[in-house]
């Protein structure tokens, strides 16, 4: 059931990789969104009473019996529906149309012609657009009552609609940046078709969550594992605002943070109406990691040890609530909204068994990362915390290829600091950038002597969603300064390289 006081659009997921992006775009347009599984019962939709439904894409063919399907009654609820990619094919197939395999598949940015400027979702748009296509099938025969309203050179039905029943569908992906005017198309659906009021904004979220926290917690204390990342920091800020002097933040310092970062986190929360505890567990973690080189084993060891340390410290606060910085993508990826697990998140799934806590508080559970950052700014958090780049839970352990030692971590910390410092001096801003210490050594010359030290890699990327990325074109003059400083100031590095690989085929992190 929808507990939101705002108008809501439901995004029904049929396996689409962009489901979260669709939901984010809807919220950016001032409308609350909720992601549900494609097989969500109609009764649930009736209870939520959304002003619109969006069907996502997916990797399937609708004429395959094993593919996810829906029922005809979905389109008879009187609720406006927008089908995207597979969602368009599913709409056509369910309502009696014919979907076939393409003679020519379309992948990438494809010129598209919007043939009917009177169609409500195309109002005010340039009829000639470039759209992101990704399909092997297409709608050949339209269902009764529909008309074609867009086409490409190889796809005769790039969009279709039945405006009497408020049913619309596009073969391309309007939610991605590579589709020109895509956000405006979604806005047209929301406002021209669904009658959205635009009543969703972050200020309402803050006041609502403060009220919910106070109602849930009462006079009890709350314990939060604070990493210093965006999510846990914003979670701490809103909890402190809601229940001053009832919050204890436990920062487990595993010794694999960036240079000065532990001290910066401690300073950021000093003087607040909360209890801040910093647990120095550096030696404990390093002893567990001794001799370990395999990336996943590193992650597992660090994750398990973190839980043990936190349990030991938080055990002193039995009878309190446990707070977590869970955000909506964590919930979605863990399969709690769609039933398909992309990757499990340690902070999703409720309280652990045999817990000493009396309940779970998750004020950010239904927010996306960009909303969390906006909320943090409204709460007055330092920009350094709010704009903090994504940082892996295991920290520098997965940016230090091979065995983890104090010496190697210090080399990486110093080099990474120089890289970040020089980019700041040059006023260069990228979505993520960092240094990687490889386990490769190379011959070098310093002074009149031969050296045999580590190769250090630099990585900087540009991305809007972290699902794909392009490498940043850092000016050579800046790379020259960074390289020179690292090899001269950081003992143990004799060569610096720059990673020019996008995602795909590479990942953003090296391990």
State pLDDT tens for residues 66-108. 999 999 999 999 999 999 999 999 999 999 999 998 888 899 8
Exposed / middle / buried, residue 290 (Cβ in 10 Å: 0-12, 13-18, 19+): exposed
Contacts of residue 510, defined as CB under 8 A and 6 or more positions apart, other chains included, come to 398, 399, 401, 436, 457, 459
Q: Give the count of beta carbons closer than 10 Å to the beta carbon of residue 163.
A: 17
**Dihedral pair phi/psi, residue 224, rounded to 5°:** -125, 130
Of the chain, the end-to-end C-alpha distance in Å amounts to: 40
Continuous H helices in 270-405: 282-289, 295-314, 328-333, 369-378, 383-386
> Which of 143-152, 216-225, 502-511 shows the lowest mean pLDDT across its residues?
502-511
Residue 372: beta bridge partners?
none
Q: Give the count of beta carbons closer than 10 Å to the beta carbon of residue 304.
A: 11
The CA angle 200-206-210, to the nearest 5 degrees, is 135
Structure tokens given for 44? 């649930």
Active-site positions? Answer: 85, 173, 175
Delineate the domains of the chain, giving CATH numbers in brackets.
8-193 (3.40.50.880), 202-386 (3.40.50.620), 398-498 (3.30.300.10)
Between 465 and 131, the higher pLDDT residue: 131
The pLDDT score that the predictor gives to residue 347 is 44
pLDDT tens figures, 30-74: 999 999 999 999 999 999 999 999 999 998 999 998 999 999 999
- Threshold 0.85, pTM exceeds: no
Contacts of residue 92, defined as CB under 8 A and 6 or more positions apart, other chains included, come to 62, 83, 98, 99, 139, 142, 143, 146, 160, 169
pLDDT at 188 over 60: yes
CA–CA distances in Å: residue 361 to residues 176, 225, 303, 316: 33, 12, 21, 18
Q: How far apart are CA 482 and CA 102, in angstroms?
A: 50
pLDDT tens figures, 273-301: 999 999 999 999 999 999 999 999 999 99
Describe the chain by its helix, strand, coil percentages, rounded to 5. 35, 25, 40
């Amino acid at each position: 059931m929808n507990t939101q006081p705002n108008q809501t659009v439901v995004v029904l997921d049929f396996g689409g990789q962009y489901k979260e992006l669709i939901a984010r775009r809807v919220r950016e347009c001032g409308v609350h969104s909720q992601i549900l599984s494609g097989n969500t019962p109609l009764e649930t939709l009736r209870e939520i009473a959304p002003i619109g439904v969006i069907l996502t894409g997916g990797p399937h063919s609708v004429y395959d019996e094993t593919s996810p399907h829906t029922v005809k009654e979905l389109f008879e609820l009187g609720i406006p529906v927008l089908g995207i990619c597979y969602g368009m094919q599913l709409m056509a197939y369910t309502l009696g149309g014919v979907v076939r395999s393409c003679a020519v598949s379309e992948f990438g940015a494809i010129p598209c012609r919007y043939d009917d400027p009177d169609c409500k979702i195309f109002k005010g748009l340039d009829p000639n657009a470039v759209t992101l296509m990704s399909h092997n099938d297409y709608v050949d025969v339209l269902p009764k009552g529909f008309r074609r309203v867009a086409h490409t050179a190889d796809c005769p039905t790039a969009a279709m609609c039945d405006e009497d029943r408020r049913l619309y569908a596009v073969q391309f992906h309007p939610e991605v940046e590579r589709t020109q005017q895509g956000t405006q198309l979604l806005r047209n659906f929301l406002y021209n078709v669904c009658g959205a009021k635009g009543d969703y904004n972050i200020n309402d979220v803050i006041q609502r969550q403060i009220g919910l926290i106070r109602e849930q917690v009462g006079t009890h204390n709350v314990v939060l594992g604070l990493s210093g990342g965006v999510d846990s920091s914003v979670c701490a800020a809103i909890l402190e605002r809601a229940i001053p002097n009832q919050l204890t933040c436990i920062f487990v310092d595993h010794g694999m943070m960036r240079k000065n970062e532990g001290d910066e986190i401690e300073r950021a929360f000093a003087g607040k109406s909360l209890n801040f505890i910093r647990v120095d567990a550096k030696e404990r973690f390093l002893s567990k990691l001794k001799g370990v080189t395999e990336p996943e084993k590193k992650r597992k060891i660090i994750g398990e040890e973190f839980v043990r340390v936190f349990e030991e410290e938080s055990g002193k606060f039995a009878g309190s609530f446990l707070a977590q910085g869970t955000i909506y993508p964590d919930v979605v990826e863990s399969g709690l909204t769609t039933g398909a697990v992309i990757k499990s998140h340690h902070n999703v799934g409720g309280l652990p068994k045999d817990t000493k806590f009396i309940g779970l508080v998750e004020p950010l559970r239904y927010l996306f990362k960009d909303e969390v950052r906006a909320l943090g700014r409204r709460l007055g958090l330092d920009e350094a915390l709010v704009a903090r780049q994504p940082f892996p839970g295991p920290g520098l352990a997965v940016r230090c290829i091979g065995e983890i030692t104090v010496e190697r971590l210090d080399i990486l910390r110093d080099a990474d600091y120089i890289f970040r410092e020089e980019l700041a001096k040059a006023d260069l801003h990228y979505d993520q950038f960092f240094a990687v210490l490889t386990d490769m050594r190379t011959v070098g010359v310093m002074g009149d002597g031969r050296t045999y030290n580590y190769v250090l890699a630099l990585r900087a990327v540009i991305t809007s969603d972290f699902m794909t990325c392009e490498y940043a074109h850092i000016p050579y003059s800046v790379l020259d300064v960074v390289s020179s400083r690292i090899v001269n100031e950081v003992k143990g590095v004799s060569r610096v390289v720059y990673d020019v690989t996008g995602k795909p085929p590479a990942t953003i992190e090296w391990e």
